[in-house]
């Protein structure tokens, strides 16, 4: 999916900046509170994997396709499985959250707005800037890598155009 490709591109850029990244694959993640198909509950292997990653990380990048004007059900399911508290500890409190969305049509911000509300409600430090990739099928090359043109447009639109940003952007995009 294009949202997966955007996440992989983000991980590649973050790795170049020295950040250790891990990507959660929601395939096989059960619905929350569905005891008929998931009698294991929080002991389900995919739920345990998600909980381990939430506890391990210092920040998260959430990305969802926008479908019917909203984030997808699987994105919401992932968020719903993140515990709000473990004893007296909120596992998400104080963690940084970046949000992105991908759409097949025109520019929209519905999914990122929903994710922003959820992130703040979970007491995460949600970055005010967001990324919304419209017409995603036009923004990737044949290797499913975000094209240089898209990266350039995105960085030109950024509010912080200092020398460090331009230099760092050039280093990232040339590789």
* CA-closest candidate to residue 62, choices 113, 137, 138: 113
Nearest-CA neighbor of 112 among 39, 61, 147? 61
Residue 27 vs residue 109, higher pLDDT: 27
Instruction: Provide the whole-model pTM.
Output: 0.76
Q: What secondary structure letter does DSSP report for 168?
A: H
The string of pLDDT tens digits covering residues 7-63 is 888 898 889 999 999 999 999 999 988 777 777 888 899 999 999 999 999 999 999
Q: Give the pLDDT score at 109.
A: 84
N residues, the chain? 175
CA dihedral (81, 86, 89, 92) in degrees, to 10, reads -10
Instruction: Give the percent of the chain with pLDDT over 90.
Output: 39
26 alpha-carbon distance from chain centroid = 12
Which pLDDT score, from 0 to 100, does residue 69 have? 87
Task: Give the list of residues 6+ apart from residue 66 with CB closer than 8 angstroms, or none.
Answer: 101, 102, 103, 108, 110, 111
Distance CA 68, CA 79 (A): 19
Cα end-to-end distance, the chain, whole Å: 23
Rounded Cα–Cα distance for residues 100 and 136 (Å): 12
Exposure pattern of 67-78 as b/e (b: 16+ CB <10 Å)? eeebbbeebbbb
Query: Max CA-CA distance within the chain?
Result: 56
When pLDDT is cut at 50, 70 and 90, the band that residue 94 belongs to is very high
């Amino acid at each position: 999916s294009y949202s997966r490709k955007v996440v992989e591109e983000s991980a590649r850029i973050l790795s170049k900046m020295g950040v250790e990244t891990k990507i959660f694959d929601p395939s096989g993640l059960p619905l929350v509170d569905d005891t008929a198909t998931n009698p294991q509950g929080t002991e389900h292997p995919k739920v345990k994997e998600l909980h381990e990653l939430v506890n391990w990380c210092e920040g998260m990048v959430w990305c969802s396709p926008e479908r019917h004007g909203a984030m997808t059900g699987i994105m919401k399911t992932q968020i719903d499985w993140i515990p709000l508290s473990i004893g007296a500890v909120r596992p998400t409190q104080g963690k940084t959250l970046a949000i992105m969305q991908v759409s097949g049509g025109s520019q929209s911000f519905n999914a990122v707005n929903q994710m922003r509300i959820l992130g703040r409600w979970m007491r995460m430090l949600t970055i005010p800037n967001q990324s919304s990739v419209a017409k995603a099928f036009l923004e990737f090359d044949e290797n499913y890598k975000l094209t240089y043109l898209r990266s350039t447009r995105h960085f030109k639109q950024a509010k912080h155009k200092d020398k460090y940003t331009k230099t760092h952007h050039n280093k990232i995009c040339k590789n």
